[in-house]
Amino acid sequence: MDIPSKYSAQTVESKWYDYWMTHNYFHSTPDDREPYTIVIPPPNVTGVLHMGHMLNNTIQDVLIRRARLKGKNACWVPGTDHASIATEAKVVAKLKAQGIDKNDLSREEFLKHAWEWTEEYGGVILEQLKKLGCSCDWDRTKFTMDEDMSEAVIKVFVDLFNKGLIYRGYRMVNWDPEAQTTLSDEEVIHEERTDKLYYVKYKIEGENAYVTIATTRPETILGDTAVCINPDDERFTHLKGKKVIVPLCDRVIPIIEDDYVDIEFGTGCLKVTPAHDVNDKDIGDRHNLDVIDVLNPDGSMNSFGLHHEGKDRVIARKDVAKELEDMGLLVKTESIVHNVGTSERTKAVIEPRLSDQWFLKMEDLAKPALDAVLTNGEVKLFPKKFENTYRHWMENIRDWNISRQLRWGQQIPAYYYGDGKEDFVVAQNLTEAVELAREKTSNSELKASDLTQESDVVDTWFSAWLWPMNVFDGIRNPENEEIKYYYPTNDLVTGPDILFFWVARMIVAGYEYKDSRPFENVYLTGLVRDKQRRKMSKSLGNSPDALKLIDDYGAGGVRVGLLLSSAAGNDLMFDEALCQQGKQFANKIWNALRLVKGWEVDNSISQPNSNRIAIEWFESKFQKDLVEIEDHFSKYRLSDALMTIYKLVWDDFCGSFLEMVKPSYQKPIDAQTLEKVNTIFEEVLKIVHPFMPFLTEELWHFIKERSPEEALIVAKWPETKSIDEALISEFEFASEVISGIRNIRKQKNIASKDAIKFSVVNNENATSTFDEVIFKMGNLESFNYVEDSIEGALTFRVKSNEYFIPMEGSIDVEAEIKKLTEELNYTEGFLISVQKKLSNERFVNNAPEQVVASEKKKEADALAKIETIKGSLASLQ
RNA sequence: UGAGGUAUAGCUCAGUGGUUAGAGCAUCACGCUUACAUCGUGAAAGUCAUAGGUUCGAAUCCUAUUACCUCAACCA
């Protein structure tokens, strides 16, 4: 079979992906083999592939392909997340563009639009993953809003409610006025902002005196229900027990005392607005204060805003300040840098808001999950440093607000039958709800139409946390064969940004519902940043087009490029040059096979000794690196594993091995060697395959015709064999000799095609194993062992061996002396440092025996080398 | 503000108390030698952030400082 001179990634990649799909290699069903399972972190259903996904999924594909080669029953479950707030925001925007207001639609109408949107854009990202080469079991593709998935979510909600872990509470939550929904604490991003701090005077009731407070939010003055001082603040002793009058609305409110107030900050006097600040709410609860909410859900002022009613809070802030100034109550303003919570999705400034929400008690649930990571090691985080972060979060876990005022998601299965706080039941469906409600009310006449279902949906993560169980239907059918076979899964690969959102909660759910970990290892990737260390984001426009990268460098090039510099947990400074390097690596391997394929076989010639040695050496070197690669993989150091492979292939396989066995120009190769070379090539392709699946599969079939059962994707990972360490170090020595020859050729401009005479004084008693290799690689005319230095020759040294290349014409004695002197100086300096150690009695007495022995060996080697150099110098002078 | 992390070659990073500290890329020089110029051969490049300490011995362990990163924090 002829190999094209260039590797065309595009045609090759689609060809093999189709081939793999046709032959169903990605599909897994339970069998006798050991399972290896990964569930994909489901991307947003309407999302598009970005660099983070590329990195993430490349890692997963490397792991899954490697497991497949190792004979495991590899199962990678793909899917997408309905991403309630993100998707709903997009649908709302689309409707708005069409002139439709979400609030004018019924729930059913809105959901119809959302499903249309999902069907139109959904799954694009999964198609993109195929381009990257991801070998997911597409037959298992799941969506968090699939009917069975939703059913399980509801089942879990009902169960947790019945266990008393879910409750309804009037709490202060993070309110996104843009999306008009609550957000969990994790969805709030705190941004540093510069705002104005307003100093406002409040008149003291019955006195012609004022007290000054400082606030960044004058519009909430209308919601003030107290002014608070620190009881220890001596400046304000005279205020104790008095009242003040709220400006603008002239409400009379008490001056209260609470330790919370920081004497140092502002004026030391705090206005308390329980409806709009968590801390104020706490103070309010302690002092039984009224709660006055001045805002509408969209962030505009309500009737408590008086003549500011209807204005957005930001506008009202300025207007109120102006009004206060006109009234002479604004003492001063100053700039202040503080943190403001913003919505992760809509970027809107978050309002603390009191409302009825559903909460999940976390404290008890978190305990097994905490132990799993920190005590018994059932779940391991890579890198380990995230354990601290995990501990910190889990130990300070707060109840999870799981309700969202959205429509796109699983509707909370609570059914109200009255206006009382407790007038509701929680049930799997309406029929059961009716029954329950009849029981609870003792009213057997109650009908379905008397019940109203809660309009809120659950937080997206409340479905995502069940993902590893739910994709195998483990919630609805806990004893089914698949969940028993595939669960717990093996590895989870995701970004540290969702360690709490998702990873921790999956662990919680795993212990609660399967009484076991959801996965054994969590590989936390870093963020993908650009060369200037900026986060890649749409707004900065610094994120390269993922698909264009694949077009430009091939999926293999991009995969290698991404993994070359991405240690687990470390941010990845993405640089397209790395993809270029990946592409060049593909080219290198491609051309290696072209070389081998170009060789003519001659069955009549026997195997040269140099080839036999070369094969033995490479097999050992391969094994040695294989051990290293396994070790890297075991620690999830994929980048190091890849680099080891890269060097093994480029330097050892192409640079040394193929050069050693390569027949000379237009000469044939012996059959025995060629067969071995092919076998070795196959072993190399196997270890490269997880990183560059397409290229290696293509070459695999170029080496010989294969049936579908013999495809590389399902080949057998190389077995480990014994390593001949001596052979490897002998080769290293020989390499230095070859380098020495090349150096001299270079310095003296001796063309590599001109054969040269070569002699050695073998002071080291080096073995002659690689002499034939040296002969060939150095293009020697002769290779003699001699007892004494050769006059009129160029020299170099390896350890204490001295090598000679006789030169026609004159030798530059000055240059030789200079070179020798430099070597001598270095070696003597080295010797001194070693001897200094050895003459230190405390070192000799305290250091371990083998350390002292190795120092002594160094000393002896250095002395021998010095001897050699001095001899050469003497003969030159 | 707190917690955690990081600091080693121009860049990205290895380095497990014991080699006068390594790799890949980039740079420079030379070479189109019949797989690959997407290549080959070679060279140069480091006060291991700073200051102390422990130790026979520190890039490695400890302390402090500085800088950067991440996470957590609603001093109004």
Which residue's entry shows tokens 């209308």? Answer: A222
Write out pLDDT tens, residues A350-380.
888 888 899 999 989 999 999 999 888 899 9
* Same domain? A668 vs A762: no
Write out pLDDT tens, residues A22-37.
999 999 999 999 999 9
Write out pLDDT tens, residues A256-311.
988 888 887 778 889 999 999 888 888 888 888 888 999 998 889 999 999 999 99
Domain that holds residue A625: 547-723
Query: Which of the listed residues A328, A352, A376 is the one where a domain comes to its end?
Result: A352
The reply to whether the CB atom of residue A64 sits less than 7 A from any atom in nucleic acid chain B is: no
Q: Name the residue among A387, A416, A538, A405 with its Cα closest to residue A459.
A: A405
Which residue's entry shows tokens 């002699």? Answer: A759
pLDDT score at A538: 67
Does residue A829 lie within any of the structural domains? Answer: yes
Query: Which of the listed residues A352, A383, A410 is the one where a domain comes to its end?
Result: A352
Nucleotide whose C1' lies closest to the alpha carbon of residue A851: B18
Does residue A653 lie within any of the structural domains? Answer: yes
* Same domain? A697 vs A571: yes
Are A56 and A494 within 8 A, CB to CB? yes
Residue A554 to residue A704: CA distance in whole angstroms: 24
* Same domain? A717 vs A763: no
Nucleotide whose C1' lies closest to the alpha carbon of residue A276: B74
- Residue A815 CA to B41 C1' — how many Å? 21
Per-residue pLDDT, averaged over A214-237, amounts to 90
Q: At what angle do helices A124-132 and A51-69 cross, to 10 degrees?
A: 60
pLDDT score at A494: 93
* Same domain? A629 vs A758: no
Write out pLDDT tens, residues A580-602.
999 999 999 999 999 999 999 99
Write out pLDDT tens, residues A440-483.
999 999 999 999 999 999 999 999 999 999 999 999 999 999 99
pLDDT score at A35: 98
Q: What's the domain count of chain A?
A: 3
**Residue A813: pLDDT band with limits 50, 70, 90:** confident
Positions 570-599 in A, CB within 7 angstroms of strand B: 570-573, 575, 577, 581, 583-584, 587-588, 591-592, 594-595, 598
- What is the predicted ipTM? 0.96
Write out pLDDT tens, residues A95-112.
999 999 988 999 999 999
- Residue A768 CA to B36 C1' — how many Å? 32
Q: What is the CATH number of the domain that holds A284?
A: 3.90.740.10
The reply to whether the CB atom of residue A846 sits less than 7 A from any atom in nucleic acid chain B is: yes
Positions 818-837 in A, CB within 7 angstroms of strand B: 826-830, 833-834, 837
* Same domain? A577 vs A608: yes
pLDDT score at A600: 94
Does residue A807 lie within any of the structural domains? Answer: yes
Q: What is the CATH number of the domain that holds A852?
A: 1.10.287.380
Structure tokens at A547: 């698909």
- Residue A858 CA to B33 C1' — how many Å? 38
- Residue A389 CA to B12 C1' — how many Å? 26
Q: What is the DSSP string of A676-723?
A: HHHHHHHHHHHHHTTTSHHHHHHHHHHHS---GGG-GGGS-PPPP---
Most confident region among A47-56, A88-97, A158-167, A171-180 by mean pLDDT: A158-167
For A737, residues 6+ apart whose C-beta sits below 8 A from its C-beta are A774, A778, A798, A801, A803
Q: Partners of A192 in the beta sheet?
A: A339
pLDDT score at A649: 98
pLDDT greater than 90 at residue A559: yes
Quote the percentage of chain A above a pLDDT of 70. 99
pLDDT score at A388: 83
Q: What is the CATH number of the domain that holds A610?
A: 1.10.730.10
Are A336 and A199 within 8 A, CB to CB? no
Residue A175 to residue A181: CA distance in whole angstroms: 6
* Same domain? A586 vs A709: yes
List, in sequence order, the alpha helices (H) in A249-397: 278-287, 313-326, 363-374, 386-395
* Residue A372 phi, psi (nearest 5): -55, -40
Does residue A20 lie within any of the structural domains? Answer: no
Q: What is the DSSP string of A128-156?
A: HHHHHT----GGG-EETTSHHHHHHHHHH
- Residue A747 CA to B43 C1' — how many Å? 12
Note the strand B nucleotides within 7 A of protein beta carbons.
Answer: 3-6, 11-14, 18-20, 23-26, 30, 33-36, 38-43, 55-57, 69-76
**Residue A810: pLDDT band with limits 50, 70, 90:** low
The reply to whether the CB atom of residue A186 sits less than 7 A from any atom in nucleic acid chain B is: yes
The percent of chain A in helix, strand and coil, each rounded to the nearest 5, is: 50, 20, 35
Nucleotide whose C1' lies closest to the alpha carbon of residue A585: B38
Write out pLDDT tens, residues A708-735.
999 999 999 999 999 999 999 999 999 9
The reply to whether the CB atom of residue A62 sits less than 7 A from any atom in nucleic acid chain B is: no
* Residue A418 phi, psi (nearest 5): -160, -175
Does residue A23 lie within any of the structural domains? Answer: no
* Same domain? A605 vs A719: yes
- Residue A849 CA to B55 C1' — how many Å? 17
The reply to whether the CB atom of residue A158 sits less than 7 A from any atom in nucleic acid chain B is: no
Q: Which helix (H) or strand (E) holds A31?
A: none
Residue A274 to residue A281: CA distance in whole angstroms: 4
* Same domain? A626 vs A753: no
* Same domain? A818 vs A781: yes
DSSP 8-class letter at A464: H
Write out pLDDT tens, residues A824-851.
988 998 998 899 889 888 899 888 888 8
Per-residue pLDDT, averaged over A167-195, amounts to 83
Write out pLDDT tens, residues A631-675.
999 999 999 999 999 999 999 999 999 999 999 888 999 999 999
Look over chain A and give the mean of its residue pLDDT values, rounded to a whole number: 92
**Residue A741: pLDDT band with limits 50, 70, 90:** very high
- Residue A654 CA to B62 C1' — how many Å? 47
* Same domain? A672 vs A771: no
* Same domain? A702 vs A758: no
* Same domain? A711 vs A787: no
Are A593 and A681 within 8 A, CB to CB? yes
Which residue's entry shows tokens 């994120």? Answer: A543
Q: Name the residue among A176, A258, A272 with its Cα closest to residue A221.
A: A272
Positions 458-487 in A, CB within 7 angstroms of strand B: none
pLDDT score at A478: 97
Per-residue pLDDT, averaged over A217-225, amounts to 93
pLDDT greater than 70 at residue A113: yes
The reply to whether the CB atom of residue A654 sits less than 7 A from any atom in nucleic acid chain B is: yes
Does residue A63 lie within any of the structural domains? Answer: no
pLDDT score at A514: 97
pLDDT score at A89: 85
Residue A750, CB-side half-sphere exposure with 13 Å CA sphere: 19
